[in-house]
Each structure stands twice: as structure tokens, then as C-alpha cells.
Amino acid sequence: MRNKKLIPFEVIEKAVAGEPEAIDIVLKHYIPRIKYLSKYQGHINDDIQERLKAQLIKAILQFHFDR
């Protein structure tokens, strides 16, 4: 039985390989957390939100499975 809260490994593999659809799935999975972290004085700060998205994409593309 799969845990619906986890991103499937196959999607992670594709995202690390640079597939745009897989990266989008990963971003959508983390959107609630990104919105929570980008709150500033009770409001969502768009600049912070975009920076967090960019950092996540960068981390996905730099990830290596050989560790």
C-alpha cells in the first residue's frame, strides 16, 4: 500500500533527470509548505515564495542518487 503523502520514487527520479512535468508535481506537493514559509506579517510574500520555489528546483536538479 502506498502512502499518499509521499511523492512516488519514479517521479523523483524523473524530476532529478530534469523532466518538467515531474518537477511540477514535486513543486505542487510542496506548495502548502512553501506558502507557510513565505508568510511575512500574516501575508504571503510573493518574492519569498518565488525564491523558495527556485531553491527547490535548484536542489532537485543538483541531487544525486549515488550517495
pLDDT value for 39: 93
Q: Beta strands of the chain (E only): which ranges?
A: 39-40, 43-44
Q: What pLDDT, in 10s, does the model give residues 7-66?
A: 999 999 999 999 999 999 999 999 999 999 999 898 999 999 999 999 999 999 999 888
- pLDDT band per the 50, 70, 90 thresholds, residue 67: low
pLDDT value for 65: 83
Domain extents for the chain? 25-62
Could you tell me which residue, 3 or 65, shows the higher pLDDT? 65
| 8 A C-beta contact, residue 62 and residue 32 | no
Q: What is the pTM of this model?
A: 0.85
Q: What's the first-to-final CA gap in the chain, in angstroms? A: 27
